[in-house]
Chains A and B, each alone.
Chain A
Amino acid sequence: MGEMEQMKKEAEALKTQIEAARKAVGDTDMASAASGVAPAPRVQLKTRRTLKGHLAKIYAMHWSTDNNLSSLSSIGVFRLMVSASQDGKLLIWDSHSGNKVNAVPLKSSWVMTCAYAPSGNLVASGGLDNMCTVYNLKTPVIKTVKELDAHTGYLSCARFLSDTEILTSSGDTTCALWDLETGKQKTVFLNHVGDCMCLSLSPDMNTFVSGACDSLAKLWDIRDGQCKQTFQGHTSDINAISFYPSANAIITGSDDCTCKMYDLRADQEVISYQDAALNSGVTSLALSMSGRLIFAGYDDFNCNIWDSLKGEKVGVLSGHDNRVSCTGVPEDGMCVCTGSWDSFLKIWN
């Protein structure tokens, strides 16, 4: 038997082995296990702020962390967020007053992602220019500090680990960890066979998960660069992904109109969030502080709220006049922000 034939046989045998191992521990599913849990209350959130200022579709937003609270507002502290639009700007907003604090003009207007560093000192953006550009917000005039240029496809997502390291995902099917001092890739994460669309860092920052157009989610070890686990089940591009706050599960959102929870220790899908009436793709998702609520943005202009344990829809955020492209819940869990192709951001609680 040729080596190729041998490899194919071994690959098939390993796939069968993995399926059998998953089945062996698949003694129930999340919804059944949670049948005795009290339902989450009906969630009715109001729009508290509508942030107007972008002139074109908003593609991404990201909240600043608890490290970067400011005490300029009358109420004591307020929280900043960054948004990115194909009008060619990043805007930094004071979410409490709804005012714009900073505007960063972009070299390329085809932006797909933005990120706030945990320190609050830096923001990043990237898109069809295939680059991740990092800006310093704290210099007297906002400066570009690095242009990270090595991906051969669009930049779909970026997340800072610190002021010296950033993770990116790309349409070139790879993810990469960059050193911000040298501007070079430290580690390249190779295994997806479709455009990487999203990534989420684990709370302890030792691992991250990525979602791609190959309909797979993958768990990676940041330090050794290896793919440790692969999660199947979606039947189309995965556009959104997030770690559950407990760090033992992940939630994904896909063009197949469903969201799914995969448990990392059981190595399989444990619940799917779907509804026969819903036939729009999921663009974005964010979790409430306890993880109980999933806020998922859809192409149909709404953001649906799911009970993560029971799989039931418990609310909806309606108000945008176009696709919801991004969602985010800040670290203190006090609100949810939605951003849309209608050029507005809304803050709800």
Chain B
Amino acid sequence: MSSKMQSSNNIAQARRTVQQLRIEANIERIKVSKASADLMHYCSEHAKYDPLLMGIPTSENPFKDKKPCTIL
């Protein structure tokens, strides 16, 4: 690659980097306190539907048998 091509590639790359940073800089951000509160709210609302968190009564556990699997 000629050095002229290489330097114009570098400039194209630099332009893309700046373009990308502009996109990322311009987003709206909310406070971490609000984001955390929303996450905590989501977890507490959904906790009762989470079998691994709440535990599964044996009668409702589709995996309750500990039979070893059969190899076909």
Contact = CB atoms under 8 A, between A and B. Distances in A.
B22 interface: yes
Given A48-B66, A78-B62, A37 B40 contact: yes
Interface string B41-70: 011101101111101100001111111111
A96 B65 CA distance: 9
A228 B24 CA distance: 6
B36 A34 contact: yes
Contacts of B53: 40-41, 43, 288-290, 292-293
A34 B22 contact: no
Contacts of A46: 66
A309 B43 contact: yes
A27 to B, nearest CB: 5
Interface string A1-31: 0011001101100110110011011111110
Contacts of B38: 246, 248
B12 to A, nearest CB: 10
B69 A33 contact: no
Interface stretch (A116-124, A139-147, A326-334): A326-334
A212 B60 CA distance: 40
B52 A229 contact: no
A268 B53 CA distance: 27
B18 A28 contact: no
Interface stretch (A49-57, A148-156, A164-172, A199-207): A49-57
A349 B52 contact: yes
A292 B50 contact: yes
B1 interface: no
Interface stretch (A97-105, A173-181, A233-241): A97-105
10 contacts: A7-B11, A7-B17, A11-B21, A28-B36, A33-B33, A37-B43, A100-B71, A245-B42, A291-B42, A292-B46
